[in-house]
Amino acid sequence: MSSIHSFKSAAALIVVSLAMACAGSNVFAASSNTRKPVILDTQSGISDGQSGTVLQTAPLSRQPIVEAQPIATPVELAPNPSLPIVVAPYIQLPVGGTPAQPQGQPVLAPRHQ
């Protein structure tokens, strides 16, 4: 009877120890994840609630902040007034909506053994 009693007390001690360990780890995990949310404001930028600005956006204006660079033409593509070459498809298309007859299709013949 004494071995059953010692087994129950050991099991209870293990359960209590595990419960305390889990509760302790949850407290530490909650403390690292409890930070204030970051606020995104279109006028003042991104703020975390602390003094100072983390990131500030530019004032709202229709003028570009930096003037766009002109698009450069590659040296390989010199201006050429010639017309482009149009390549026709290499497959036969039906004329007038009727399907074309397949040409060169192998015919399967049954083999006698």
Cα dihedral 22, 24, 27, 28 sign: negative
C-alpha neighbours within 13 Å on the C-beta side of residue 89? 4
Is residue 6, in this structure, part of any structural domain at all? yes
Q: Classify 38 as helix, strand or coil.
A: coil
Is residue 11, in this structure, part of any structural domain at all? yes
Which pLDDT score, from 0 to 100, does residue 55 have? 58
Is residue 17, in this structure, part of any structural domain at all? yes
Cα–Cα distances (Å) from 48 to 31, 39, 73, 101, in that order, read: 17, 6, 45, 72
DSSP secondary structure of 5-22: HHHHHHHHHHHHHHHHHH
Is residue 112, in this structure, part of any structural domain at all? no
Question: Which residue in 48, 45, 47, 46 sits closest to 60, CA to CA?
Answer: 45
Is residue 20, in this structure, part of any structural domain at all? yes
Q: Give pLDDT tens digits for 55-113.
A: 556 666 667 677 878 877 666 666 666 777 778 777 777 777 666 565 666 667 677 66
Rounded Cα distance, 96 and 103, in Å: 19
* Mean pLDDT within 27-37: 63
Is residue 63, in this structure, part of any structural domain at all? no
Is residue 13, in this structure, part of any structural domain at all? yes
* Mean pLDDT within 9-30: 67
16: domain range? 2-47
